[in-house]
Amino acid sequence: MIAYAYAEWGKLRAVAMHKPGLEVLFGLLDPSSFLYARPFNWNKAKREHDELRRVLKEEGIKVFRLKHILKNKIKRDKKFKEKIIEKVGFNTDDPVLLVELLLLKPVLKYKRTDNGLHLEVTLTDPLSNLYFMRDQQITTKGGIIIGKMATHQREKEIEIMKLFWEALGVKYKEIIKGKLEGGDFFPMGDFALIGIGNRSDLDGAKNIFDVENEVGVVYESREEFFHLDTFFNVASSNLVIGVEELMKESRVEIYYDGKMVKVTNLYDYITKEKGFNIINVSIDEAKAYATNFLTIDDGKIVAPKNPANKRFKGLDVIEVEVSNLTGGAGGIHCMTAVIQRD
């Protein structure tokens, strides 16, 4: 299978997703320590995820689920199964159990007491943020580039995604230096945008220079907007949606063939130099994930329910209820890893 993405408004053909599993329960015990925005209802979040996948499939988009792909690969590939067994440290023929152990990462300790042998089970960084599948990699016109996560809570997700892409038969490159997360990247046809700030850095961004001739490196101005897609998104070939205030604050360094040639800001770069129209959303609307929608075709988006959607004139907007899922601090864009996009 070949992965590719040419433009954020191109027809979306296939995505990878992960339904929140048992690992999320442990994140809900202490939401802020697991990077969650707030507590949320786990059962309702799972139902919301089911509905989101249903909508995408109804729109003709292939959805490849992380657990299903891993389980099927374990069933039919002995070497892959042995690799997973070595990683989890437990030998079983049950592929479901192997995948759950891979995500939960339990550690068993035995202590001898006066009452006999006592078993203590601890979890070392369960992957409670894994359902935000956008961030572990970027999808470019040249294929998948696996990044590096900036936070310790998420850094081990990279190994899971490498196994996923292997199981799916998708080749990938992996960055060696820097930090790079998928929520900061937008393919824009004849150029690309990459945000740097809390989660991605310039060393990570430079990995895109080998794929794109022109790259706009966006310096995100405020810490609470930790990815570019938290205050900016692309809805069509001539329209972006974003917080104008933050776009004007965000310095952009324009690189051609790896060399910086100009400095501007995101608002001027997108509207004046690239000719996009813009729909402005407020900071509060962005915090409610107004920009964290998924564009599935030119002018057609799947968006979290938000009053701001009523102002998105000229767009075909499919609203989906994700108010529990967003408790993890991400929207629909964050939950979908692009595999194939025209």
Q: Quick check: 79 pLDDT over 90?
A: yes
**Which tokens in the block code for residue 231?**
């205050």
Residue 121 has a pLDDT of 80
Q: Measured between alpha carbons, how far is 55 from 214 in angstroms, rounded to an integer?
A: 34
Residue 234 has a pLDDT of 98
Q: Measured between alpha carbons, how far is 17 from 63 in angstroms, rounded to an integer?
A: 7
Nearest alpha-carbon partner for 44 in 271, 322, 243, 330:
322
| Residue 144, burial from CB neighbour count under 10 angstroms (0-12, 13-18, 19+) | buried
CB atoms within 10 A of CB 68: 14
Place of tokens 């070949």: 2
Sketch the domain layout of the chain as residue ranges.
Answer: 4-64+128-341, 69-123
CB atoms within 10 A of CB 94: 12
Extended beta strands in 238-299, E state: 239-242, 251-256, 259-265, 277-280, 294-297
**Which tokens in the block code for residue 238?**
């001539």
Residue range 135-162: average pLDDT?
A: 97
Contact (Cβ atoms closer than 8 angstroms) between residue 215 and residue 203: no
Contact (Cβ atoms closer than 8 angstroms) between residue 339 and residue 14: yes
DSSP state of 315: S
Extended beta strands in 84-136, E state: 106-113, 116-123
**Which tokens in the block code for residue 147?**
């990044």
Residue 107 has a pLDDT of 81
Residue 217 has a pLDDT of 98
Within 184-233, where are the H helices?
202-205
Q: Quick check: 119 pLDDT over 90?
A: no
Residue 158 has a pLDDT of 98
Q: Quick check: 120 pLDDT over 90?
A: no
Enter the CATH code of domain 4-64+128-341: 3.75.10.10
Q: Quick check: 24 pLDDT over 90?
A: yes
Q: Measured between alpha carbons, how far is 305 from 234 in angstroms, rounded to an integer?
A: 17
**Which tokens in the block code for residue 221?**
């101005």
pLDDT, tens digit (0-9, with 9 covering 90-100), for 2-22 = 999 999 999 999 999 999 999
Residue 105 has a pLDDT of 85
pTM of the model: 0.95
Residue range 113-129: average pLDDT?
A: 84
Structural element, H or E, at residue 303: strand 300-304
pLDDT, tens digit (0-9, with 9 covering 90-100), for 31-64 = 999 999 999 999 999 999 999 999 999 999 999 9
**Which tokens in the block code for residue 215?**
């790259």
